[in-house]
């Protein structure tokens, strides 16, 4: 008998507005899996994916941004940091 990997079901709570949006997605399981994978692969180097900076991180960021700026790239159509 072949050894099959069993998938695990994980649930989480969301507010009503987010639930409404998620329910409108055609293949929401695939969407959620892809979103979570992207979040792990593209984690913000400043906050490590937390969505906020700790007070000491904020102090370092304030010092860093005095010598850097956000610049729009016309080639890739995104913003990035650039040294002044």
pLDDT in tens, 44-56: 888 887 778 999 9
SS3 of residue 29 by DSSP: helix
- Whole-number percent of the chain with pLDDT over 90: 62
Q: Report d(CA 25, CA 6) in Å as an integer.
A: 24
Are 56 and 65 contacting, i.e. CB atoms less than 8 angstroms apart? no
Q: What's the mean pLDDT in 26-54?
A: 85
Residues in the chain: 84
SS3 of residue 5 by DSSP: coil
- Residue 32: closest CA among 51, 7, 52, 56: 7
pLDDT at residue number 4: 64
């Amino acid at each position: 008998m072949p050894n099959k990997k069993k998938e695990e079901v994980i649930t989480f709570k969301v507010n009503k507005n987010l639930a409404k949006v998620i329910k409108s997605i055609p293949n929401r399981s695939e969407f959620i899996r892809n979103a979570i994978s992207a979040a792990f692969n593209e984690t913000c180097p400043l906050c490590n994916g937390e969505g906020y900076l700790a007070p000491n991180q904020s102090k370092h960021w304030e010092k860093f941004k005095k010598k850097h700026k956000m610049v729009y790239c016309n080639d890739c159509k995104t913003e990035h940091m650039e040294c002044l």
